[in-house]
Amino acid sequence: MARMAPLSPMFFFLVLSTTSPAACVGAILKNGLGRTPPMGWNSWNHFGCGINETIIRDIADAMVDTGLAKLGYEYINIDDCWADFNRDSQGNLAANASTFPSGIMALADYVHGKRLKLGIYGDAGVRTCSKLMPGSLGYEEQDARTYASWGIDYLKYDNCHSRKTSPITRYTKMSEALLNSGRNIFFSLCEWGVDDPATWAGGIGNSWRTTVDIKDKWESMTNNADQSNKWASYAGPGGWNDPDMLEVGNGGMTTEEYRSHFSIWALVKAPLLIGCDIRLMSNETKEILSNQNVIAVNQDELGVQGHKVQQDGYLEVWAGQLSGGRVALVMWNRGPAGASITASWSNISLSLSAVVDAHDLWTDEVTSSVQGSLKRDVDSHACKMYILTPK
């Protein structure tokens, strides 16, 4: 079995760096946001451009009514296609009059009335990726002030139609504009990982995309997990690697595959942004998205991104430190048949003599006094997820 060298707790951050001679969590954006990964919902994966203010209001209602809001899902994020094709006579962005007739400020008031937060979408080029609304290139200060005046809490900032200018320059301008806007706005860079934003986005954004857009397919989800994995050492409180939004509940994967998706996203401290229509979600989808044990791993205050520590073909072990000396562990079978996976303490920052209680986060069963390694049978395209608590 191919294994990484043993990791000591002191050096748990210093893993899988391919670009930096001294990889570590970098500067933190001074807006005080994102101390844990953001949780919420985004419109794109399910609705694409087919959005309107009624859908957004209904989603906000459902977030509360389903109990998801109480679990920490707080952002209701509108993606592309919300604005008019052109700016208004003063050069301001304006909501599409046919789909958002009440305007964004009124929608923000409604969402805030639910004790939730409203996010919006922009682009660091001249037009957004849909080409249906203006980008913010050259209008950063003006648009940031507009967002602040509307009560926006989160900005997803895309990278289309950039005129081939430096993404660092363009994203820095919007970051500074948001800081000067008079409102604390979570800044999510959507640069798709093209220019390795993990190496420079700390201090500019609260999260940065490390991958291409996710699709509701097993191969896409696993590829995004792998692509984001190598940047684990750059994430931490205030700035997170983003392998893109959740596809759980959209119908393209099995329940076990969605459970694996949610488990890995939680372990790697990815933003947990639901991408399905929560008004119509199945009981299985709600059960996955509502697992408080798994959410707690994602929201752990220590903020260490878990990563792949052991691999034997399709059989993998991912792990990450948690507060209180605990370790989060995912045993992931990405192969076509069930198999046995053994997670060795030597690969997950535990001494071989350590004795732990292993809490299965999906069945809630606890196995006491485990020493040296943990062995489990794991079904195809499924995972087992544990918190290991030293005794």
The residues, any chain, with a CB within 8 Å of residue 359's CB and separated by 6 or more, are 293, 365, 366, 386, 387, 388, 389
Residues with Cβ within 8 Å of 330's Cβ and at least 6 positions away in sequence, in order, are 263, 264, 267, 306, 317, 318, 319, 383, 384, 385, 386
Q: Give the amino acid at 385.
A: M
Of the candidates 61, 213, 226, 360, the residue annotated as catalytic is 213
**Contact of 232 with 268, CB cutoff 8 Å:** yes
Looking up tokens 């203010």, which residue turns up?
A: 53
Residues 79, 80, 153, 158: which is the catalytic one?
Answer: 158
Handedness of CA 192, 116, 153, 151 (dihedral sign): positive
Is 213 assigned a catalytic role? yes
Question: In the block, which residue shows the tokens 């929608």?
Answer: 107
Give catalytic status of residue 360 as yes or no.
no
Q: How many residues does the chain have?
A: 391
- CB-count exposure of residue 87 (10 Å: 0-12, 13-18, 19+): middle
What are the residue numbers of the active site?
Answer: 158, 213
